Amino acid sequence: MQVGNDSSEVQRKFISFVARMLEDHPKLCYADISHSSSYPREIQPYVAFLEVLTEHRETARKLLERGLIWPKLVEVYSENPEPVAVSIFQSKLGRIGEADALEFGRLHGHRRLTFRDTFGKGVFDYVAKAMKYGGPQNLVSKDWKQTLDRIHGINDFGDLARFVYVERLCLLGFTNAPDNYLVTGGGPKRGIETTFGESSGLKEKGNGLLQPLLQVTHNERAIFALETFLCCMQQERIRSSFLAYFEGKLSLDQVIDRYVTAFGKRDLSEIRPR
């Protein structure tokens, strides 16, 4: 339901919140790239892909230890028919219930458990695309639109996964951030509803928040913070704090304090629901 009588004032308040969070608490606005950035630059895009595909950094690390390193991927891809290569890649994840099974996805995350069974096909598709361009680093482009186009078609790697992947690529310095709002699925819908009163025209409403935010912050990565905080309104306790802020019952400093208290001591990339 619409908060108050002035939708534009609600939007202004939300933009002010995101801008302050970007300035004062940037680590709570973006994905954590500490793991992928620790690897040689030429394979960082591949490591980031594993993190998004499994939605679990520790699993990505263990997959690399189990032999899913880039040269081995190329070898398996080149020397085996697709079904065999997919099976080899899938086996590295282990089967649920077995002692060597690796974790996949997380509570409130975007990788459904059914995606676990198609992990091998996703890796196979990624290798095929990366080899076409000469490796993981060359698969991505500074142009975010071109990057999205190149990674389109990877099995069970939809709009949301591609957006999250582009975020990591941007933070790693491989591509530019989108300068237009991208509809990634149902995640930000609750935030749009809370801010605008209804959720039709997600792209237009998203741009109605993003463009002023970019002007205020001069931060091209602001789109990722915007998506984070829109998605967090799926959690009722977060949404209720925003409602109180929009209605004038909490100040900007107070709602920021509540958010930081809730998430400041935790790794946001492990809890944000997108």
- Residue 47 belongs to a domain: yes
Alpha-carbon span 148 to 13, nearest angstrom: 31
| Same domain assignment for residues 97 and 21 | no
Total-model pTM: 0.90
- DSSP code, position 142: S
pLDDT tens per residue, the chain (274 residues)? 444 446 899 999 999 999 999 999 999 999 999 999 999 999 999 999 999 999 989 999 999 999 999 999 999 999 999 999 999 999 999 988 888 899 898 644 566 677 899 999 999 999 999 999 999 999 999 999 999 999 999 998 989 899 999 999 999 999 999 999 998 877 788 899 999 988 889 999 999 999 999 999 999 999 999 999 998 888 888 899 999 999 999 999 999 998 888 876 544 443 343 3
Question: What is the domain range of residue 149?
Answer: 36-172
Dmax of the chain from CA atoms?
65
Both tokens assigned to 131: 């080899």
Which of 172, 199, 231 finishes a domain? 172
- Residue 41 belongs to a domain: yes
Alpha-carbon span 51 to 46, nearest angstrom: 9
Q: How many CB atoms lie within 10 A of CB 112?
A: 11
Domains held by the chain: number:
2
| Same domain assignment for residues 65 and 162 | yes
